[in-house]
């Protein structure tokens, strides 16, 4: 079974992120779920992003790196939206990564070094009309990563919702989230 370090999105460690982690655990995987916001949860994206700016994106990235301290090598680094930033940084810079899972976001690998590490598989999931994913460059970064990396997969779901896989939010899309979960569990089964 895989060991996953999963980072929450900009709204914080919501019940929906906890539910997703619990689903992975029920499938037999070990999931570490750090809280980068020290218990704060926000009702909407604007407030969550404002909090992230107040704390500082660099500080959140450092909190993500510290969350990996003491954990073994061989992790799958995963994140939802804002949580993709520390997940991607760790997948690219921490030795021994077994894989990566990105939901609602993807950065160009050049943000964290010379490129994607050889032999590290990655899945990227997003909605095809989510303006934050499409218009902010995440989709382009995901497509470039897939083109340059044999072990990279991009899955697009019909819809415009950001945070579509968080069942505690109004943006939740049950059909897309179910398919995402099936794909993630299949991916983790190949790693574990």
Residue boundaries of the structural domains of the chain: 3-191
Stated as kind and residue range, the H or E segment containing 85 is: helix 84-93
pTM of full prediction above 0.85? yes
Cα atoms found within 13 Å of the Cα of residue 161, Cβ hemisphere only: 18
Domain boundaries 3-191, corresponding CATH code: 3.40.50.1820
- pLDDT given for residue 114 in this prediction: 85
Q: For residues 29 and 1, is the Cβ–Cβ distance under 8 A?
A: yes
In Å, what is the CA distance from 79 to each residue of 12, 32, 137? Answer: 12, 11, 17
pLDDT tens sequence across 29-73:
999 999 999 999 999 999 999 999 999 999 999 999 999 999 999
């Amino acid at each position: 079974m895989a060991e996953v370090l999963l980072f929450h999105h900009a709204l914080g460690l919501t019940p929906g992120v906890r539910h997703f982690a619990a689903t992975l655990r029920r499938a037999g995987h070990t999931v570490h779920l750090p809280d980068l916001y020290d218990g704060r949860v926000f009702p909407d994206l604007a407030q969550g992003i404002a909090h992230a700016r107040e704390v500082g994106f660099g500080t959140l990235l450092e909190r993500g790196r510290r969350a990996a301290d003491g954990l073994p090598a061989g992790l799958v680094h995963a994140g939802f939206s804002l949580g993709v930033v520390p997940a991607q940084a760790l997948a690219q810079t921490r030795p021994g990564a077994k894989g990566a899972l990105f939901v609602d976001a993807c950065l160009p690998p050049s943000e964290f070094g010379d490129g994607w590490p050889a032999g590290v598989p990655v899945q990227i999931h997003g909605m095809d009309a989510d303006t934050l994913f499409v218009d902010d460059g995440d989709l382009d970064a995901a497509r470039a990563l897939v083109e340059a990396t044999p072990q990279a997969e991009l899955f697009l779901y019909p819809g415009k919702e950001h945070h579509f896989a968080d069942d505690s939010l109004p943006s939740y899309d049950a059909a897309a989230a179910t398919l995402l979960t099936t794909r993630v569990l299949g991916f983790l089964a190949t790693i574990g």
